[in-house]
Amino acid sequence: MRSWQRMFVAVMRLLLKCLRLGRRRRFKLLRQVEQLWHYGNLCLRSLLYNSFTNSDVVLDSLFEPIYWLVDHVTRWFGVVFVALVIGLTSSIVAIVYICLLPLILQTYTPAWICWHLAYGHWNLIMIVFHYYMAITTSPGHPPQAKDDLSGVSICRKCIAPKPARTHHCSICNRCVLKMDHHCPWLNNCVGHYNHRYFFSFCLFMTMGCIYCSVSGWEMFRDAYAAIERMKLLEKERLQVAANQTYYQTPPPTFSFRQRAFHKSVVYLWVLCSSVALALGALTLWHAALITRGETSIERHINKKERQRLQKKGKVFRNPYSYGGWDNWKVFLGVDVPRHWLTRVLLPSPHLPHGTGLSWDLPPCVTEQRTPLLAI
């Protein structure tokens, strides 16, 4: 009996010893895995360490594939957008000439006919001229040789000189002088040399759409009422035809030409009104930026700088703003009073002030430049 007890005690001791040994090995393995994890994390952080890294940098890195996709899609679809602008504008002009102009010549007085012909063709010429110049004129790029410039920074993307107000366009993959934004409807960047063409196109296109919407309001109401009558008569005709034989079916009430006329008028008014609202808001936004002497990119930069200096008790002054009126004169290139007619109200391919590399005081500015900072 004692021998069995001794054997049982020995087996239990051996079992407990094995359990303690297994537990030690398991704890040792967990400690090794934990040490390897901390070591790998330390190596990764040491390789990727950057004192300027924050949540914004992490988000930009995560969204980099989306940015790449948007840039390439915008670059390839720019031609489609340009074709869409040309197609829609051409359709409106065709409707005006084919449908509305004969009606105007038959019903309006000679004075109103002269007004519509003069204003409509002047507005159309201004739209076509400024859009063509906006898509064909290069916005301007800085020279690649650093010897030609002094006191400029280096673009971290294209490793080239970067003058003041110059920014890198990820879609064009080049630095642009006085860059405002990349416009897919132009398939071109809006910069120093074509900024005036872009804004003038937006302005005259908005004016043309408002003109078509206001002058075509009565025609739109009549055309919309006619279309509703067409639908009602068509429904009644089908109900009557269902109770008659084939040869007794009544002919259509409206001809194809009448249907096309009314639908074209409705299409013209809806499209022009929609474009007038959307493009009008964009034009007002850019007009406010021009009044302040800023671009779309500089607005965000100046806003952050204004907030930073406000915390220090200082006031930010835009060094490229000469006052609201003078900002418009500089932007439009108005040096003398007659330029309001020859350079603003008529098509003009004149160049903007300066080269976009340096920003000296333009001759049309009457007041001196305000200082950059004021305490």
Catalytic residues: 183
The two three-digit tokens of residue 267, written as one number: 């299409």
d(CA 268, CA 264): 6
Say if CB 164 and CB 359 are below 8 A apart: yes
Largest Cα–Cα distance of the chain, in whole Å? 135
Q: Residue 343 and residue 115: Cα distance in Å, rounded?
A: 22
Question: Cα–chain-centroid distance for residue 204?
Answer: 18
- What are the DSSP calls for 320-337, one per residue? T---HHHHHHHHHT--ST
User: Bridge-partner residues for 189, per DSSP?
Assistant: 182
- Which positions ≥6 away from 172 have C-beta within 8 Å? 75, 182, 189
Residue 218 CA from chain centroid, whole number: 34
3-state secondary structure 157-168: CCCCEECCCCEE
DSSP 342: I
As a dihedral over the C-alpha atoms of residue 21, residue 27, residue 29, residue 32, rounded to 10 degrees, the angle is -140
